[in-house]
Amino acid sequence: MVNLREATPADYHQIQVLDARYHLGTLTEIEWQHLYAGSPFVERCNFAWPLGWVLETPENIIVGHIGNVLVEYSLNGQSLVGASANRWVVDADFRKHSTELAKRFFAQPQVDLFLNTTATWPSGRAFGRLGALRPPVEAYDRAKFWILDHPAFVSSLLAKKNVPLAQAMGYPAGALLSLASLIRSFGKCKPNRSALVWELSAFDERFDNFWRILRAQPNRLLCVRDRAALAWRFEKPLRNGNAWVLAGNDDSGQLASYAVFLRQDSPDINLRRMRLVDFQSVGDGATFLRRAIEHSLARCHDDRVHVLEVIGFGVARKRQIENLAPYRRQLPSWMFWYKAADRLPELAQSLENPELWDPCTYDGDGCF
């Protein structure tokens, strides 16, 4: 017998224990509050936002949890209430109750768009069974990447495949891969310390103006990127040097493009990784994108980051990135699932149009 109830701040410690047991990583209490209750959209909503739900035994032991992250979306000038499922976990002995948590997540009457943007294989499968769909874009199960440190990359790859002596084999195999990379990287982005981009240390009012321009574009589903929403995601990593914000101006000195790179390591296999998590521009932004990636590759090199990686994006952006990145890899699962609320059939229908979509790690809870 387990009881399903709304999560409260007092559940923090038990949820961390559960998350750690299933290798989901842990959050400090401040990070936890910031994620579930700190969205700038929470203050503007006229309803109480649940932090998530838990499954609890009669002895008050928490054996399951699904987090509920509030994210605002915009489509054709309309604001949409988005809920992103986060860190869904159920103790192995109680998995027959997993779906109850997911069903509770989907039963929120105030939500327009339900999301799971960091899905593992079982969570994606369960979401699909509950009516969630893959956005009509290709390859949210593939990543494009650049290698900065070939021996370290090979060691991580071997460690992931549980190959003994992965560390020792990294050097000889990495040297060979490094030679192959010389050929493969011809015409692709390379580290460039003098690429013409500006690195910013904070989001200023120019980002609110820029968001007004982005939001006015017709038929684009966009997770809100005003100054407050960007700061909610990136202020702390920016302060710690774990996020880089690069900007490009147009001829009149106005912000015309920006890209955010965020550190997302895989400590279990000793991989130091930077990800391009957001890229927006007025126009195609191709020149800026190349410069931003080249600048970041140089910074990755200086910071001893092993790989730079990109996941997602819609048709046009994906093509741009594919032209610049020498490598791609298959991810363990399709990561992005969505469902329009049942009371909004016209939204569900419009989301079938691939041109609306440009999904990336910025969406949902991908940057937390």
Ligand X SMILES: CC(C)(COP(=O)(O)OP(=O)(O)OC[C@H]1O[C@@H](n2cnc3c(N)ncnc32)[C@H](O)[C@@H]1OP(=O)(O)O)[C@@H](O)C(=O)NCCC(=O)NCCS
Q: Which residues bind ligand X (CB under 6 A)?
A: 22, 24, 87-90, 95, 98, 118-123, 126
Structure tokens at 341: 């609320």
Within 8 A by CB and 6+ apart from 215, the residues are 74, 77, 222, 224
Of 7 and 154, CB closest to ligand X: 7
* Share of the chain residues as helix, strand and coil, in percent rounded to the nearest 5: 40, 25, 35
Under DSSP, the state recorded for 132 is -
Which runs of consecutive H residues, i.e. helices, occur in the chain?
Answer: 12-21, 29-37, 40-44, 98-106, 121-129, 150-160, 166-184, 206-215, 227-239, 286-302, 315-324, 345-350
Neighbours of 243 (CB within 10 A): 20
Q: How far is the CB of 318 from ligand X (least distance, A)?
A: 23
Task: Please classify residue 18 by burial: count the beta carbons closer than 10 Å to its beta carbon, then call 0-12 exposed, 13-18 middle and 19+ buried.
Answer: buried
Q: How far is the CB of 138 from ligand X (least distance, A)?
A: 21
Q: How far is the CB of 22 from ligand X (least distance, A)?
A: 4
Q: Angle 242-336-90 (CA atoms, 0-180°, nearest 5)?
A: 85
Q: Using CA atoms, how far apart are residues 278 and 223, in angstroms rounded to an integer? A: 11
Of 152 and 367, CB closest to ligand X: 367
Q: How far is the CB of 13 from ligand X (least distance, A)?
A: 18
Task: Please classify residue 252 by burial: count the beta carbons closer than 10 Å to its beta carbon, then call 0-12 exposed, 13-18 middle and 19+ buried.
Answer: exposed
Query: What residues does 55 pair with on adjacent strands?
Result: 4, 64
Q: Using CA atoms, how far apart are residues 26 and 47, in angstroms rounded to an integer? A: 28
Say which amino acid occupies 36. Answer: Y
User: For the chain, how long is the longest CA-to-CA vector?
Assistant: 65
Q: Which helix (H) or strand (E) holds 246?
A: strand 243-249
Q: How far is the CB of 66 from ligand X (least distance, A)?
A: 8
Of 70 and 195, CB closest to ligand X: 70
Of 160 and 239, CB closest to ligand X: 160
Report CA torsion sign: 242, 313, 113, 215.
positive
Of 88 and 362, CB closest to ligand X: 88
Under DSSP, the state recorded for 10 is G
Of 124 and 248, CB closest to ligand X: 124
Q: Which helix (H) or strand (E) holds 329?
A: strand 327-330
Q: How far is the CB of 265 from ligand X (least distance, A)?
A: 18
Q: How far is the CB of 128 from ligand X (least distance, A)?
A: 11
Of 147 and 367, CB closest to ligand X: 367
Of 203 and 336, CB closest to ligand X: 336
Of 123 and 155, CB closest to ligand X: 123
Q: How far is the CB of 117 from ligand X (least distance, A)?
A: 9
Q: How far is the CB of 303 from ligand X (least distance, A)?
A: 28
